[in-house]
Amino acid sequence: MLAEEYRPAPDFENIRAVLQNKCPARPTLFEFYLNWPLYQRFAGPLPFDCPDELQGMLTIILGYKNLGYDYASIVLTDFIFQAEDKHSKASCSMNEGAVIHDRESFNAYPWPDPDAASYHLLDDIKPFIPAGMKLIIWGAGGVFENVTKLVGYENLCLMLMEDEELAADIFDQVGSRFLRYYENCLKHDTVGAVISNDDWGFRTQTLLSPDQLRRFVFPWHKKIVAAIHAAGRPAILHSCGQLDEVLDDIIDDMQFDAKHSYEDAILPVEQAYEKYGDRIAILGGLDLDFVCRATPEAVYERAKAIIAQTSERGGYALGTGNSIPEYTPVENYLAMIDAVRERH
């Protein structure tokens, strides 16, 4: 059945079952986020009584719904750590845009107030959310990503050697605010799960040493996961990179329910499922480079094969290894999700 023609009834219990490492009632989709043209294309017309301030959020929700997802992935964009603008070329220094260099600039930085974000939107949108759906909330970056944005990556590495106390204070300022942001989101019953998104690695290893991550980054994620679980919701980690050295931390210490972001050059998702799938739910994973470069037929066949691999054991939802940026061929994306749709 063509994705363009398919209008399934959403049921959040399917993705909840996956996040509990169980078998859902039917094959289930997961994507961290899509892209604005795709949301607009599939959302259809909005209700005439939708207020202006909700129209962007509702476009995302209806886009997800009409593509066959049981949830919509939402971020509150007014909780953000401001830094200097980076130039828009194909690449730039990971130090560019840094605004904290020393204790003086740390003290002068305008730290965002996590209580001031637009949480009312999570209630105001409730009458417009299709029956059966809930929201999965994420943040504008994560603890490590935002410290890196404020300090610069190489600068941070030097700071950890030269002024560890200042580095620790920056991590604490960022981490405590993210904890509060997620605690506030969890007060709203439209929120069914939470993604704590924070890239910790690159293709061959983690960006900080595992011991440094355990000292400065992981304690805040452990608190975030504890808050999510205390509110009765599942906790999803989105983190890119080679993380084998810290998978035990992710599963046993921080106790995430599910892990997202996979890359064939690191560990193909089919292998990740066999290696870790009995301990943590596996989300997405079709390598984005593969999804972009392969034929629609090849994408469909690989997606169909992984659905067959995981359908009896559960704990898996189909999607890409990262997200759906605008350069992704739409026909390839639709071929991937058609592998789920034909099973209905």
Quote the pTM value.
0.95
| The dihedral sign for the CA sequence 336, 340, 343, 344 | negative
Q: Are strands 316-317 and 235-238 parallel, antiparallel or unpaired?
A: unpaired
What are the residue ranges in the chain where pLDDT is below 50? 1-2, 343-344
Dihedral over Cα of 89, 91, 93, 94: its sign = positive
**What is the model's pLDDT at position 96?**
75
Q: Are 208 and 166 in contact (CB under 8 A)?
A: no
| Contact predicate 273/312, CB 8 Å | no
Rounded Cα distance between 308 and 4, Å, is: 23
- Give the side-chain half-sphere CA count within 13 A for 268: 6
pLDDT per position as a tens digit, 87-144: 555 555 567 779 999 999 999 999 999 999 999 999 999 999 999 999 999 999 999 9
Short-list 25, 74, 314, 308, CA closest to 188: 74
Residue 97: per-residue pLDDT: 79
Give the residue from 261, 164, 166, 154 showing the smallest Cα distance to 207: 154
SS (H, E, C) 96-129: CCCCCCCHHHHHHCCCCCHHHCCCHHHHHCHHHC
pLDDT in tens, 183-215: 999 999 999 999 999 999 999 999 999 999 999
For 164, residues 6+ apart whose C-beta sits below 8 A from its C-beta are none
| pLDDT score of 60 | 98
Predicted local distance difference test score (pLDDT) of residue 30? 98
Q: Structural domains in the chain?
A: 3-341 (3.20.20.210)
pLDDT of residue 343: 47
CA-to-CA separations, 261 to 86, 208, 245, 268, 283, in angstroms, rounded: 25, 18, 16, 10, 8
Structure tokens at 63: 């886009």
Run of H or E including 259: strand 258-260
Element (H, E) at 191: strand 191-197
Angle formed at CA 69 by CA 337 and CA 329, multiple of 5 degrees = 40
